[in-house]
Homo-oligomer: A and B are copies of this chain.
Amino acid sequence: MRKRLRTFKSHMKVSIKDIAQKAGVAPSTVSRALKSHPRISAEMRTTIQALAAEMGYVPSESARHLAGKQTKTIGVAIPDFTDPFYMNILSGIEEVAIAHQHELFVGSFNQDFDRDRKLFDAFDQKRLSGFVIAGSLVDEAYLERKSADIPAVLINHYEYPFSVAIDQMRGVEMAINHLISLGHKQIAYVSLGTTTSSDSLRYQGYINALESSGFASRPEWVVQGDGGIHGGIAAVNQLMRLPNPPTAIMCYNDRTAIGVINGLDQAGYSVPVDVSVVGFDDLEIAAYFLPSLTTIQQPHFHLGRQAAEKLFALMHGATVQAELLEPKLIRRNSTGPVQS
């Protein structure tokens, strides 16, 4: 299983000139022959193309770009490579990028300011043809980017033009109403923990729905998670220690919901008979967790695709507008009628 060790001395790439020389023609002819320019004779074309293949010619994108061509790659920034939600988005973006013959340059952001800035600098320096930025935490680094003239679309962000997002507030309202219709009155919310527009929108939805049904939220019923499983576990421990614990828990997202259910399980509560829990996102696992998760569906692939489509429209000079997608309540087995 041990292999020979090569050393990689990048021995001179073959360029268009090399081909030209070997073929006894001008570089410009080679350039045109390779892209099947109409004013090149058929035989010249085939000769050159064969020669190029034989010599292992690989065009230099840098040179091509310098000479005036587009980069044909779009930059994507997502908060976390580890979050399935963003991965689905990424996948959707890639799909349409490929359809448009573009490639992806990807980076994660929202780590710290310097890192984020570097990412956007890289975007700029590479002269990418467009960006899509996912995640609601669009910070200074983004705003400070130099390339304000490059098309960009944001996902799930509302305060800038050209975003595609789902109506998160509405989503949570739907979830809470569902809970209320099941008889729940003591409903908790476990948040993302960091203040982003996503989080405040969802929180707002929670408050709205409660109030418009004449119920109230108590301050001790809204606790912080971290967007992940651990946060959910920690949050639910806090919640269930309360003198008047909730009978239902709305979670910032599916991952927290899974954490919450785990916490509940460890504490001896059963879902949904003792307490109902609802998530947000509708990750793949939501349908297959046991119990399966009631959740708000974000059409993630669709989000990614839409964002990318919009981006290409922008790049082609079209004018597009922000789009708000309708969320959808998916009822499954993590919610049930309140026990009396």
B105 with A103: CB separation less than 8 A = yes
Q: Mark A299-331, 1 if CB is under 8 A from B, else 0.
A: 000000000000000110101111010000000
Q: Mark A177-190, 1 if CB is under 8 A from B, else 0.
A: 00000000000000
B322 with A4: CB separation less than 8 A = no
Q: Does A125 count as interface, using CB distance less than 8 angstroms?
A: yes
B62 with A322: CB separation less than 8 A = no
Task: Given A7-B319, A103-B107, answer yes or no on A91-B81 (Cβ-Cβ < 8 Å).
Answer: yes
Shortest Cβ distance from A236 into chain B, in angstroms?
A: 13
Task: Given A62-B62, A62-B127, A107-B103, answer yes or no on A150-B10 (Cβ-Cβ < 8 Å).
Answer: yes
Copies held by the complex: 2
| Residue in chain B with minimal CB distance to A319 | B5
Compute how far the CA of A144 lies from the CA of B194 in the bound complex, rounded to whole angstroms. Answer: 47
Give the chain B neighbours of A321 by CB distance below 8 A.
2-3, 5
For window 5-22 of chain A, which residues contact chain B by CB distance below 8 Å?
A: 5-11, 13
User: Residues of A with Cβ closer than 8 Å to B?
Assistant: 1-11, 13, 56-63, 65-66, 73, 80-82, 84, 87-88, 90-91, 94, 98, 103-108, 115, 119, 121-122, 124-127, 146-147, 149-151, 158, 160-162, 229, 258-259, 261-262, 265, 284-285, 288-290, 314-315, 317, 319-322, 324
